[in-house]
């Protein structure tokens, strides 16, 4: 069955050979073929097609090896003479494909080898190519005058093409054009024919002539027209005729193709014919908008910016162009023309392959602007003023009217009444106009249905409108305040003439803000004329009064009230100066010298105050006074102002100057705008006093107050001595240290206060003292930090025993240190009362504090810096609350803790050092006096 079936089928193609069909040996041989070939020759085995080794006899050696078991070489054992390869190296064999092919391959390949044939080279290209190749080959072999490959134009094909051959056979000659030769040939034939005709009888001659004419005109039109072509060969077109003086083959635009275009353009411009045909290529210098300085491009990574615009090319100057190729005079025009053309091109936006039409049918139709009637006024005025109409309706409320039943009508009346109320009489006129045609608006006419209602509605609307507008314009800050239930600020007036309304405003504001609870105390006990020493400057006057109050009332005073009197905008120096003025004035009052003229240095403070206040407050009662504005703008130039400015310590160092702000706290940033002041104030507030929650204003005032103290402390001699000795202190941010130590120093002061009751004004002086303490502490902190970090810290050269062994010092000074101290405190106290050496009381208290701390410290002095004994020993002195605050402080500055301890110790030591130094100074003075006295006696 199966056979029958198979016979029925017809098979196409060859069946796929199955794997199993091939013998396993053969497969193995195929698989091994690769590996075997990789083996060394002597390891390879000879095998037949089936992969079997040839076995050539059990007795002759088994399997066959190379060269029939002789040796491993073709020559076998044949003896040979030795030839050294040293002299004659193996020559370089020229390898070709044949050397890699065996006979079989060659046999296969040999039949199909392709060769070029010259026979059908119609246009001679192949011949030219061939010739060029030949020439190149030859060139390699012999030296040539022209180095490098020969130019194509020089090499001509040696053989002529088949086409040329054909043409030659057809009678074409080298120097004549193809068409011509053809025509000429034909013409020749005809001529011959004509000659033959001429030989015929003359009766046919006329016909002949006619025929000739027709032939001439019909068949050879070019003969008559294109005579010039007759004799010449096809003209040789040279694409770029050489017109410049550059060397052969030199392309001046090789690296700057953008200039080629501009040159072409210039040429095309000079030759007027083909104008506008040049299309600009990608030009590097091209820019969308106009003028950029020629000559200098910008970097690839930079953008063309406004900065690159050529601001100087403003008309009266043309750059000298420096390109080699372009004439200088035309260069600029070139570029300008360039831009114009490009612009034009852009404008037309013609597609590739399209050309903008030279004359288009489309024309933009332009209309003349409408003629304005001569009596036209550009401002529209309502026929009846709005207020007038409002007033009318204000007065006479029309009688209440019934609303019409028709809901639509009612809506319409409501709407139009509202409209008329808002927009005035004119819109009513419009409606009236409408009512003539439209029955819907009949209600406008008197007597019609709904007219009364309309009148009533209109009146109501207007009433409402008036109320609204009234409210909108009358709601001032006062009213707002009243609505919100605020207490109106009591406005106090000052005696004497006032610099400006604004200034007074500000002062009012500040005083009311500062002490809302307490009224300014009138200095009744003092004569009026004396206390009004600064009459011309109310701000200053107020400060002065405050100063007097402080001075004569004395005692403890909440720090809050201090802040209300001074302004933070004042610079430290100004404040110091003013302070001195105040002192002088107060002295004058005291001594009863009423007629002394107290010169007020400047009105700077008032100005500062003004600027400061303006930024901060928006006055409630002050309505902007145009006159003051005028004054401000009319100010004569040049105007001089002074501000505080902080040079950085390193800048001072580089300029070889002493930093004027060395060791001073961070400045209060000058408020530039409202926003600035708002942003910065909390900062200063935080840094100055964290304890009390106050107004931000007050915080800043506080800061300025402390600054004032600082300024006062400055002129003292000891400060100047101490300050430059620690260049280390230069780079520290003072605030940080203050944040860490300010509480501590307060404690110190608090300690110092009760023990030294004799101090004239302990609270006031405490702030100045704080600052100096902070400064010292900060220095110590750096030192301790350096120690912790393992850096070498320069030793504190404190004056030791030599001080005591001072030969000049009197014998009682040479006693025990305790006695020494006592003497000194006594001395300072004495000086307190009489001397004017120091600008402020801060120094005295500081001195006291030092001497006091020295008393305390004597007991707990330990040589070990890490013991932290300071706080332990202090424990006895401190009250519970102080200690608690301390603890809080510590926890806040947890990371600074250890250094805190160490620095506390150091601070104490430094303080001692300072006081000792000072004592020494004093001692010297004293000693001198002593010796003087001795001498005198």
Residues that bind another protein (CB under 8 A): 293-296, 298-299, 302, 307-308, 311-312, 316-317, 319-320, 322, 571, 573, 637-648, 650-652, 654-661, 670
**Dist. CA 339–CA 335, nearest whole Å:** 6
What gap in Å lies between CA 555 and CA 568, rounded to an integer?
24
Using DSSP, state whether 55 is helix, strand or coil. strand
The DSSP result for 812-850, as a single string, is GGGS-HHHHHHHHHHHHHHHHHH---SSSSHHHHHHHHH
Shortest distance (Å) from residue 601 CB to another protein: 15
Smallest distance from another protein to CB 229, Å: 54
Q: Name every residue whose Cβ is closer than 8 Å to that of residue 463 and which is 6 or more positions away in sequence.
A: 393, 394
Smaller CB distance to another protein: residue 650 or 678?
Answer: 650
Angle of helix 328-348 versus helix 257-270 axis, rounded to 10: 90
In terms of CB distance, is 44 or 322 closer to another protein? 322
Rank residues 105 and 320 by Cβ distance to another protein and give the closer one.
320
Q: Which is nearer to another protein, 31 or 311 (CB)?
A: 311
Reported as type and span, the H/E element at residue 324 is: none
The CB-of-605 to another protein minimum distance in angstroms stands at: 15
CA–CA gap between residue 262 and residue 266 (Å, rounded): 6
User: CA torsion 42→45→48→53, rounded to 10°?
Assistant: 140
User: Measured from the CB atom, is 126 or 287 closer to another protein?
Assistant: 287
- C-alpha dist (Å) from residue 924 to 436, 456, 637, 813, 836: 115, 102, 54, 10, 19
In the complex, the smallest distance separating the C-beta of residue 627 from another protein, rounded to whole angstroms, is 21
> How near is the Cβ of 311 to another protein at its closest, in Å?
8
Task: Answer whether 187's CB lies under 8 Å from 220's CB.
Answer: yes
CB of 664 to another protein, least distance (A): 9
CA–CA gap between residue 193 and residue 619 (Å, rounded): 124
Q: In the bound complex, what is the minimum distance in angstroms from residue 650's beta carbon to another protein?
A: 5
Nearer to another protein, 560 or 669 (CB): 669
Minimum distance from CB of 580 to another protein (Å)? 17
Q: Which is nearer to another protein, 113 or 306 (CB)?
A: 306
CB of 812 to another protein, least distance (A): 43
- CA dihedral (221, 223, 225, 231) in degrees, to 10, reads 150
Distances (CA, A) of 267 to 16, 244, 285, 328, 334: 75, 13, 20, 15, 11
Q: Which structure tokens are listed for 145?
A: 């005058």
Asked whether 178 and 145 are in contact (CB, 8 A), the reply is: no
What lies within 8 Å, CB to CB, of 882 at 6+ separation is 747, 750
Q: Nearest distance from residue 658's CB to another protein, in Å?
A: 8
Closest alpha carbon to 710 in 752, 762, 772: 772
Min CB(320)–another protein separation in Å: 7
How far apart are alpha carbons 454 and 430 in whole angstroms?
Answer: 16
- Cβ proximity to another protein: between 12 and 645 the closer is 645
DSSP letter for each residue of 353-364: T----SS-S---
* CB-nearer residue toward another protein: 343 or 650: 650
What is the C-alpha to C-alpha distance for residues 916 and 806, in angstroms, rounded to an integer? Answer: 13
Q: How far is the C-alpha of 168 from the C-alpha of 159, rounded, in Å?
A: 13
Q: Which is nearer to another protein, 226 or 731 (CB)?
A: 731
Q: Which is nearer to another protein, 307 or 837 (CB)?
A: 307
């Amino acid at each position: 069955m199966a056979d029958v079936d198979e016979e029925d089928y017809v098979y196409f193609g060859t069946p796929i050979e199955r794997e199993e069909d091939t013998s396993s040996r053969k497969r193995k041989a195929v698989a091994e073929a690769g590996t075997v070939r990789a083996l060394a020759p002597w390891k390879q085995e000879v095998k037949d097609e089936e992969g079997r080794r040839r076995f050539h006899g059990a007795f002759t050696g088994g399997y066959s090896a190379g060269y029939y078991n002789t040796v491993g070489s073709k020559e076998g054992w044949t003896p040979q003479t030795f030839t050294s390869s040293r002299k004659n190296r193996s020559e370089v064999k020229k390898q070709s494909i044949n050397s890699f092919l065996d006979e079989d391959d060659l046999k296969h390949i040999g039949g199909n080898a392709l060769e070029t044939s010259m026979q059908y080279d119609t246009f001679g290209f192949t011949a030219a190519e061939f010739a060029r190749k030949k020439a190149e080959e030859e060139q390699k072999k012999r030296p040539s005058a022209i180095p490098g490959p020969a130019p194509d134009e020089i090499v001509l094909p040696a053989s002529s093409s088949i086409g040329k051959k054909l043409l030659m056979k057809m009678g074409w000659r080298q120097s004549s054009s193809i068409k011509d030769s053809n025509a000429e040939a034909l013409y020749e034939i005809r001529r011959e024919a004509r000659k033959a005709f001429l030989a015929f009888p003359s009766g046919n001659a006329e016909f002949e002539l006619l025929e000739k004419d027709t032939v001439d005109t019909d068949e050879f039109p070019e003969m008559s027209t294109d005579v010039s072509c007759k004799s010449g060969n096809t003209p040789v077109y040279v694409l770029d005729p050489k017109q410049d003086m550059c060397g052969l083959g030199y392309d001046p635009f090789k690296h700057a193709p953008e200039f080629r275009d501009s040159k072409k353009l210039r040429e095309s411009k000079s030759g007027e014919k083909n104008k506008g045909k040049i299309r600009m290529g990608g030009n590097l210098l091209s820019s969308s908008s106009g003028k950029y300085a020629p000559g200098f491009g910008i970097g690839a990574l930079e953008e063309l910016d406004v900065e690159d615009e050529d601001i100087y090319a403003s008309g009266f100057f043309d750059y000298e162009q420096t390109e080699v190729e372009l004439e200088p005079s035309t260069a600029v025009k070139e570029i300008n023309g360039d831009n114009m053309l490009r612009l034009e091109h852009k404008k037309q936006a013609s597609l590739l392959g399209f050309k903008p039409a030279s004359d288009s049918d489309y024309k933009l139709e332009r209309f003349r602007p409408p003629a304005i009637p001569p009596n036209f006024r550009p401002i529209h005025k309502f026929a009846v003023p709005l207020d007038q109409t409002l007033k009318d309706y204000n007065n006479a409320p029309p009688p209440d009217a019934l609303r019409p039943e028709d809901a639509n009508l009612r809506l319409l009346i409501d709407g139009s009444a509202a409209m008329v109320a808002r927009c005035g009489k004119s819109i009513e006129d419009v409606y009236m106009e409408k009512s003539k045609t439209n029955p819907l608006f009949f209600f406008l006419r008197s007597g019609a249905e709904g007219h009364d209602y309309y009148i009533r509605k209109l009146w109501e609307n207007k009433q409402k409108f008036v109320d609204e507008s009234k409210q909108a314009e009358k709601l001032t800050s006062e009213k707002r305040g009243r609505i919100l239930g605020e207490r109106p600020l009591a406005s106090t007036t000052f005696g004497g003439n006032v610099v400006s309304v604004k200034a007074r405003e500000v002062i009012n504001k500040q005083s009311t803000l500062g002490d809302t609870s307490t009224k300014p105390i009138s200095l009744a006990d003092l004569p009026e004329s004396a206390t009004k020493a600064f009459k011309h400057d109310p701000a200053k006057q107020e400060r002065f009064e405050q100063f007097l109050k402080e001075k004569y009332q004395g005692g403890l005073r909440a720090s809050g009230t201090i802040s209300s009197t001074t302004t933070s905008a004042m610079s430290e120096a100004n404040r110091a100066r003013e302070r001195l003025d105040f002192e002088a004035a107060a002295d004058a009052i005291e001594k009863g010298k009423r007629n002394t003229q107290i010169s007020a240095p400047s009105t700077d403070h008032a100005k500062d105050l003004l600027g400061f206040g303006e930024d901060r407050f928006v006055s409630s009662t002050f309505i902007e006074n145009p006159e003051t504005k005028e004054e401000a703008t009319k100010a004569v130039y040049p105007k001089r102002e002074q501000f505080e400015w902080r040079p950085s310590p390193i800048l001072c160092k580089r300029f070889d100057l002493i930093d004027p702000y060395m060791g001073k706290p961070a400045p209060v940033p000058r408020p530039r705008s409202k926003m600035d002041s708002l942003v910065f104030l909390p900062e200063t507030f935080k840094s100055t006093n964290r304890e009390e929650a106050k107004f931000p204003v007050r915080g800043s005032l506080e800061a300025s107050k402390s600054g004032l103290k600082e300024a006062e402390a400055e002129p003292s001699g000891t400060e100047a001595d101490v300050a430059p000795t620690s260049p280390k202190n230069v780079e520290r941010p003072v605030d940080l240290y203050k944040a860490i130590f300010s509480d501590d120093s307060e404690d110190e002061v608090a300690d110092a206060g009760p023990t030294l009751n004799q101090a004239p004004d302990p609270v006031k002086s405490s702030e100045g003292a704080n600052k100096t303490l902070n400064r010292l502490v900060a220095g110590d902190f750096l030192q301790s930090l350096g120690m912790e970090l393992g850096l070498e810290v320069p030793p504190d050269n404190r004056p030791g025993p030599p001080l005591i062994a001072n030969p000049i010092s009197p014998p009682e000074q040479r006693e025990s240190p305790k006695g020494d101290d006592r003497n000194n405190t006594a001395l300072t106290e004495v000086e307190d009362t009489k001397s004017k050496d120091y600008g402020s009381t801060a120094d005295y208290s500081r001195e006291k504090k030092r001497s006091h701390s020295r008393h305390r410290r004597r007991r707990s002095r330990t040589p070990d810096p890490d013991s932290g004994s300071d706080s332990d020993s202090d424990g006895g002195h401190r009250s519970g609350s102080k200690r608690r605050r301390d603890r809080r402080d510590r926890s806040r500055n947890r990371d600074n803790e250890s250094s805190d301890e160490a620095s506390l110790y150091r601070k104490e030591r430094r303080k001692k050092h300072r006081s000792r130094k000072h004592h020494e100074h004093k001692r010297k003075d004293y000693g001198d006096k002593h010796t003087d006295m001795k001498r005198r006696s």
